[in-house]
Amino acid sequence: MKRLKKWLRKARGFTLVEVMVVILIIGVLIIILVPNVGKSKEIASKKSDDALVQLVENQQLLYEIDFSVKDPSLEELVQAGYLNEEQKEAYEKITP
């Protein structure tokens, strides 16, 4: 028991090799994760654009049902309160 206590008192810090191994492992993990973060942003942006297109299509359908009008413009949807200006502008950016 005395030996263990004596050894624990001596071994308080980390050796240089241990610190280098930890830094190496963290570096490898960062190298693996960084490309995946970029892909995740791309996927999230694509999903957001898809959701906006779906929203506009649904609002156009509701407007057509309510007012018996075929293919309403975005401006008509905004004026009737089916879309707001921000949604209209975002939709115009992502559609040709």
CB 67 within 8 A of CB 60: no
Where are the chain's structural domains? 43-96
Structure tokens at 92: 């115009």
Its pTM stands at 0.64
Tokens 């994760």 correspond to 33
Q: What is the pLDDT along the chain (96 residues), one digit of tens a residue?
A: 677 766 666 666 788 999 999 999 999 999 998 888 888 889 999 999 999 999 999 999 999 999 998 989 999 999 999 999 999 999 999 987
Tokens 């975002």 correspond to 90
**Predicted pLDDT of residue 37:** 84
**Predicted pLDDT of residue 93:** 94
Distance separating the N- and C-terminal Cα atoms of the chain = 77
**Predicted pLDDT of residue 11:** 61
CB 95 within 8 A of CB 77: no
